[in-house]
Amino acid sequence: MELTAVEVDIGTRSPTILLNRADATELGVRPLDRVQLSHGDRISIGIVEVTDGLVSRGTLGVTRRLGHVAGVVDVTLAPRPVSVSFIRKKLDDVELEHHELRAIVEDIDADRLNDVELAAYVTGTYTNGLSLAETRSLTEIMTDVGESLVWKDPIIADKHSIGGVAGNRITPIVVSIVAAAGIKIPKTSSRAITSPAGTADTMAVFCPVEFTLAEIQQIVEQVGGCLVWGGGVNLSPVDDKIIRVETPLSLDPPGQIIASVLSKKKSAGSTHVVIDIPYGEGAKVRDLPNARELAEDFKRVGEHLGLTVECTITSGSAPIGRGIGPVLEARDVLAVLDGGGPKELRLKSLRIAEILLGCCTSDANASTLLESGAALAKFREIVAAQGGDPDVTIADLVPGGETVEVRADRAGVVTHIDNALVSELARRAGAPKDAGAGLYLNCTVGEHVEVGHPLFTIHAEHEAKLAEATQLLAVSEPVRVRSVGEALVERI
Amino acid sequence: MELTAVEVDIGTRSPTILLNRADATELGVRPLDRVQLSHGDRISIGIVEVTDGLVSRGTLGVTRRLGHVAGVVDVTLAPRPVSVSFIRKKLDDVELEHHELRAIVEDIDADRLNDVELAAYVTGTYTNGLSLAETRSLTEIMTDVGESLVWKDPIIADKHSIGGVAGNRITPIVVSIVAAAGIKIPKTSSRAITSPAGTADTMAVFCPVEFTLAEIQQIVEQVGGCLVWGGGVNLSPVDDKIIRVETPLSLDPPGQIIASVLSKKKSAGSTHVVIDIPYGEGAKVRDLPNARELAEDFKRVGEHLGLTVECTITSGSAPIGRGIGPVLEARDVLAVLDGGGPKELRLKSLRIAEILLGCCTSDANASTLLESGAALAKFREIVAAQGGDPDVTIADLVPGGETVEVRADRAGVVTHIDNALVSELARRAGAPKDAGAGLYLNCTVGEHVEVGHPLFTIHAEHEAKLAEATQLLAVSEPVRVRSVGEALVERI
């Protein structure tokens, strides 16, 4: 059939071809089918949506992702990409071969799969799992797709934390310590997806975080480390597309986590990596056996890629720092670097830095680097190199002025702080978009509190958002206080 | 945030809200998130797509499925429907409770789930299966959604075939026999999705097939049976929405098949149902154990719903009739009703009719009804009641005039006729859209043929489509002929 093509931006990720219902019926195609457009000697394939109004009969709409298509084109039914049959195999619990995974990754990269097929890939790898061989292949293939960084140094350090724990902002501290030890650490981090702040959101409080790969290379060559947003560069483009589909379902297939993390590290040119795996109620990894298994697989796949991988398994059942939300976390980070700050955040950062330094065969001492102020000086260098104010003080980092303080309504022991609930409160208060919004914890698990002891403070930049957060307070118990007797029973 | 709403039809199934990228960033929402629009005292929730061009900053596009929304609206982030967490449970292989399945079905019915969530539901029920209790619940819930038919008669017959077998057009024959026995049979059928013809496409050769429920009731009260398109009525609206997502992945979770089929039968007011389960290479059900298990589950769930269900397990490894495509199948149907036609089609129709009559405790004899011409007379009554020509003859049913005949290139035995390949040839030739297009088999499996014996003829209405079909011939062997020795070895 011959139709006239016009460009329409309907906001879909995949190359979409919008057909008038009458033309679609005539062609015998349905939504989610694919059609091929031939125009001159060029051929484009896109996924069909059917409309009654947006394009009229005889005309078809094409999205920009399809490339430039205009004027009269010949339209024919196109077959599904072959990778769809490999996704189908995974749903039937058949182990996929290297070339089959490659076809899937390449089709994801080229936006050739529709949302149904992408979701089937993610749910299939979740319910049926990925074998070690599949995970290895996938990591290798995802490393090949996208750009990469190359360094002269033989040792390039990196770290990654599996998410889900509130206030776990150890990265700026670890990077500063390791870079202060003279080991290059080109750290890319994510922005918040479902949490109140990612490392990139917290760093954005101090300085710009969006750079090109060439700029990142230059910053790291100059000061030994960086703390930038990974989404601004093309190190693992497929990862973002997979995450987009995982997010609505809160899915994180373990094999996919390994492939995503390690392919990104490999593309960043890293050679020595520490993976922090928090486990426990509310964390992404639920229990110790699962954490151990994930750690073993991380090491095995790392070895296959020629990476030295160390894993730490840490408690993830309660927040680490006191602040939750970009500015509140930035204050904690600066306080720790300055010799104070929340104890748990300080201890965890030091331990991870120590392990990473050991793994890089450095004999530098993490505590000394932190206590001497060397790490703080290095952090200020990184902030300056990224275009921020190196002389920033905690007083400059002002949390949102609309606040509600929540106090203990009985005396007792803090038995539980709920990661998911404090994160949700911080998000409702406006984090991460309102950098000053969030939540500050005035207690830790195990602490004895009297009636009226402040438990936490919610900060917002806007009154309406504070109200949205406090609404949730009425029906939830983010910090649990129990009398000593109750607390004992609860622990049995 | 306040934005001005305008209506945009971008051809999505779910209620979609199209945001300009800048507004989406400001709101902190991503594609596939949900937002709530408040306008006056009305609230609408839709799924977000983000565009650079189609709507400008300060404006948002809403699709018609969202209801009438226009003018200034207040936009806030809306939570996911609770059913998404139940879909997540299914992915974790947790058995779902009745109220959880109800929430999923109701959200599918109301188009509240995006394609990623819908695909996760379908793949989850496929990879982790549905227990008998879940299948029962699902069938009951799907019956409750949508409209239903009510009859005065105590016995209402129905039949269903699990698909995948080419030329398996027994339905018009079975319905005519059963209605001729004086038992009401309000049969709704589908149009082709991935096959060259559905029963509704074949019936459309004789008469209109699209009617309202009231019209169907009237036709059946008048002549005892009907052969109409099920997609035109609202008997099981959720089923169509699930099939839309299953089709791109060629998925058919057994529990879902049972729920779809039996909920539709129950909604149609049927009391006695025969389910034909073809199995074998190329059929939807691959082997005998799976066919038996499916049959048992059909009977158990039927019992739960108060339906009398009989199942037949039949060979589905080769086509049943000779014609494939609407007109060619219509010719076979009329030939069988007229006392001739393909032997396998005749025998299978008679056997299914016999079982259905027995199940309805009728002592009518299927063979007598067919041989006496009573079934043909009943078929003509049904055609007339649906607005077709009751005096139609085979000569009136003219297949496409563009033909290619394929002949045996050696002497031997027909060892295999490939369901998928002959269907694909018929589709390429233009079926089901071009009713006269398709394929006619001049041989059956097991037949001895000489060199030059005609194996099959491809019919098309357009030369270009015939060419598309013949291209496939060059690289495939839809009908396999082997020398007697080869054939024996192949059978071992």
Q: Which residues of A are catalytic?
A: 252
Fold of the B2-78 domain: Barwin-like endoglucanases (2.40.40)
Backbone angles phi, psi at B374, to 5 degrees: -65, -40
Write down the mean pLDDT value for chain A: 91
Torsion sign (Cα): A84, A86, A90, A93: positive
For residue B19, which residues of chain A lie inside 8 Å, CB to CB? 11
Size of interface A-B (CB pairs under 8 A): 139
The answer to whether residue A287 neighbours chain B at the CB level (below 8 Å) is no
Superfamily for B402-491? Pyrimidine nucleoside phosphorylase-like, C-terminal domain (3.90.1170.30)
Measured CA to CA, the distance from residue B9 to residue A118 in angstroms comes to: 24
For residue B49, which residues of chain A lie inside 8 Å, CB to CB? 10-12
A-contacting residues in B 15-44 (Cβ below 8 Å): 18-19, 26, 28, 30-33
Q: How far is B46 from chain A (nearest CA, A)?
A: 14
- pTM value is 0.87
The answer to whether residue B433 neighbours chain A at the CB level (below 8 Å) is yes
Rg of chain B taking only CA atoms, in angstroms: 25
Inter-chain CB proximity B116 and A118 less than 8 Å: yes
Q: Which residue has the higher pLDDT, A194 or B459?
A: B459
Question: Which stretches in chain B have pLDDT values below 50?
Answer: 491-492
Q: In A243-344, where do the E strands start and end?
A: 272-279, 308-315, 323-324
User: Which amino acid is present at A228?
Assistant: V
Measured CA to CA, the distance from residue A150 to residue A145 in angstroms comes to: 15
Mutation site, B16, B116, B243, B471, interface A, largest A CB count within 10 A: B116
Q: What is the per-residue pLDDT for B338?
A: 97
Note the pLDDT tens digit of each residue in B5-19: 877 777 777 788 889
Write the CATH number of the domain with boundaries B157-236+246-385.
Answer: 3.40.1030.10
The answer to whether residue B8 neighbours chain A at the CB level (below 8 Å) is yes
Mention every residue, 6+ apart, whose C-beta is less than 8 A from residue A117: A84, A87, B119, B248, B249
Mutation site, A127, A191, A241, interface B, largest B CB count within 10 A: A127
Residue A71's beta-bridge partner residues? Answer: A5
Backbone angles phi, psi at B122, to 5 degrees: -65, -45
- 């750079």: which residue's tokens? A211
Q: What is the per-residue pLDDT for A488?
A: 57
Q: Which residue has the higher pLDDT, B485 or A257?
A: A257
Q: What is the per-residue pLDDT for B491?
A: 46
Q: What is the mean pLDDT of residues A85-110?
A: 96
Nearest in space to B352 (alpha carbons), one of B305, B301, B314:
B314
Assess whether pLDDT exceeds 90 at residue A168: no
For residue A80, which residues of chain B lie inside 8 Å, CB to CB? 248
- Tell me what ipTM this predicted complex has: 0.84
Rg of chain A taking only CA atoms, in angstroms: 25
- Determine the 3-state secondary structure of B172 from DSSP: helix
Measured CA to CA, the distance from residue B486 to residue A347 in angstroms comes to: 76
The CA dihedral of A254, A255, A258, A264, to the nearest 10 degrees, is -120
Note the pLDDT tens digit of each residue in A352-391: 999 999 999 899 999 999 999 999 999 999 999 999 999 9
Measured CA to CA, the distance from residue B380 to residue B335 in angstroms comes to: 13
Decide if B419 contacts B282 (C-beta within 8 A).
Answer: yes
Inter-chain CB proximity A248 and B28 less than 8 Å: no
Confidence category of residue A119, pLDDT binned at 50, 70, 90:
very high
Nearest to B50 among A8, A11, A18 (CB): A11
Looking at chain A, which residue has its C-alpha nearest residue B193? A30
Q: Which helix (H) or strand (E) holds A116?
A: helix A115-127
Would you tell me the crossing angle of helices A171-180 and A374-385 to the nearest 10 degrees?
100
Strand A412-417, strand B448-449: pairing: unpaired
CB atoms under 10 Å from CB of B332, counted, come to 28
For residue A19, which residues of chain B lie inside 8 Å, CB to CB? 11
Note the pLDDT tens digit of each residue in A28-66: 788 888 988 988 888 888 888 888 878 889 888 888 777
Decide if B231 contacts B240 (C-beta within 8 A).
Answer: yes
Nearest in space to A455 (alpha carbons), one of A444, A469, A466:
A444
A-contacting residues in B 77-96 (Cβ below 8 Å): 80, 84, 87-88, 91, 93
Q: What is the per-residue pLDDT for A487?
A: 59
Looking at chain B, which residue has its C-alpha nearest residue A86? B249
% of chain A residues with pLDDT over 90? 68
Q: How far is B240 from chain A (nearest CA, A)?
A: 13
Mutation site, B35, B76, B127, B472, interface A, largest A CB count within 10 A: B127
Q: Which residues of B are catalytic?
A: 252
Sequence spans of domains, chain A: 2-78, 83-129, 157-238+249-385, 402-491
CATH 3.40.1030.10 fits A157-238+249-385, yes or no: yes
Starting at the edge strand that comes first in sequence, how are the strands of the sheet with A157-161 ordered? A157-161, A272-279, A308-315
Q: What percentage of chain A's residues is helix, strand, coil (to nearest 5)?
A: 45, 20, 35
Strand B272-279, strand B157-161: pairing: parallel
Would you tell me the crossing angle of helices B83-91 and B115-127 to the nearest 10 degrees?
40
**Which DSSP category does A278 fall into?**
E
Q: What is the per-residue pLDDT for A491?
A: 46
Torsion sign (Cα): A88, A91, A97, A101: positive
Decide if B305 contacts B298 (C-beta within 8 A).
Answer: no
Strand B225-229, strand B185-189: pairing: parallel
Measured CA to CA, the distance from residue A171 to residue A96 in angstroms comes to: 35
The answer to whether residue B244 neighbours chain A at the CB level (below 8 Å) is yes
Q: Tell me the two tokens of residue B264.
A: 């539709």
Measured CA to CA, the distance from residue A331 to residue A202 in angstroms comes to: 9
Torsion sign (Cα): B79, B85, B88, B92: positive
Enumerate the H helices of B247-325 as residue ranges.
254-267, 288-305
Inter-chain CB proximity A126 and B91 less than 8 Å: yes
Starting at the edge strand that comes first in sequence, how are the strands of the sheet with B412-417 ordered? B448-449, B412-417, B479-482
